[in-house]
Amino acid sequence: MIPPVPSRRDAIADDLRERIAAGRLKPGERLPSEAHLAAQYMVSTPTLRNALAVLQAESLVEKVHGKGNFVRRPLRRITYRGGGRTPGTHIVDLSPLSVTVHTARVRARGPLTALLETPTDSPLTEISCIGHEGGRPHSLARIYIPRDLAPTAVLRQSLPYEAVLTRLMELRPPLAEVREEINARRPTPEEVSTLRISPALAVLAVTRQVTDTAGRVVEAALLVLPGDRAHAVFTTHHVIDERPAEA
């Protein structure tokens, strides 16, 4: 049986993929312009863009708005640690990365009201953390806290990422429960733009709800980790009952 002839899109993607694997196109190198590549492969611009989209979905090529297409550098993998954790440990360790932190005053709207179990328009502090590696966006986290537990004056923007996490642990009351919901989904247009990823690349979306010993939701976190650099690990700690058996 004669194998099917690959489409022009797949043939171009295969050629570029082979050039990247062989090192003829190096990590961080800018590809020739789309017009130049289309002429080189003797195809239309839409066909060429479809071929590049295949490589973008495989995280081999990155398109930077206004600059062109680049061979993507290998990115550090992030481990999401779910399940049983001791208080104070980080669910995602972003310390090896450069992290940009912004705080803002927002109001509880839409899904946040249900997640934080608070009335609409309740005052919140939003902490946005974008991890960067080599100047490229790596991961995104948004943390929402009732403003009386995390006033923006205390979490000022000049604090580094690790200091923000430490300060949050100092401010919040003793915790009783952490509920996590994890979904693999397509990124939103905002996430595509912020993280500079292909819209075809799945992301690991984590929603955390943290409750204190009084039953109040004291923190909600929305984490987005691109699927090409994230994996999840869950550990459950079993408590062994060492009491003697009754006679």
pLDDT (tens digit per residue) in 192-208: 889 888 788 889 999 98
Q: Which pLDDT score is estimated for 88?
A: 47
User: Contact at 8 Å (CB) between 144 and 116?
Assistant: yes
CB atoms within 10 A of CB 100: 13
pLDDT, tens digit (0-9, with 9 covering 90-100), for 107-123: 999 999 999 999 999 99
pLDDT tens, position by position, 58-74: 878 888 878 899 998 87
Where is average pLDDT lowest: 64-78, 108-122, 177-191, 214-228?
A: 64-78
Q: Is-contact 55 61, C-beta < 8 A?
A: yes
- 164 Rama class: left (phi>0) / alpha (psi -120 to 50) / beta: alpha
> Is 184 a residue whose pLDDT tops 70?
yes
Retrieve residue 49's tokens: 């863009």
- Which region among 15-24, 69-78, 231-240 has the lowest average model confidence (pLDDT)? 231-240
- Is the pLDDT at 153 greater than 70, yes or no? no
d(CA 191, CA 60): 19
**Alpha helices for 1-92 (secondary structure H):** 8-21, 34-41, 45-57
State the average pLDDT over residues 142-146: 92
Checking if the pLDDT of 231 tops 50, the result is yes
pTM score = 0.70
**Contact, 187 vs 205, CB < 8 A?**
no
Predicted confidence band of residue 146 (pLDDT cuts 50, 70, 90): very high
DSSP string over 44-64: -HHHHHHHHHHHHHTTSEEEE
Q: Which residues contact 4 (CB under 8 A, 6 or more apart)?
A: none
Looking at residues 172-191, what average pLDDT do you find? 89
Tell me the pLDDT band of 94, cut-offs 50, 70 and 90: low
Q: What number is the average pLDDT over the span 42-61?
A: 90
Q: How far apart (Å, rounded) are the C-alpha atoms in residues 36 and 17? A: 17
Residue-level pLDDT at 2: 54
Looking only at Cα atoms, what is the longest distance across the chain? 87
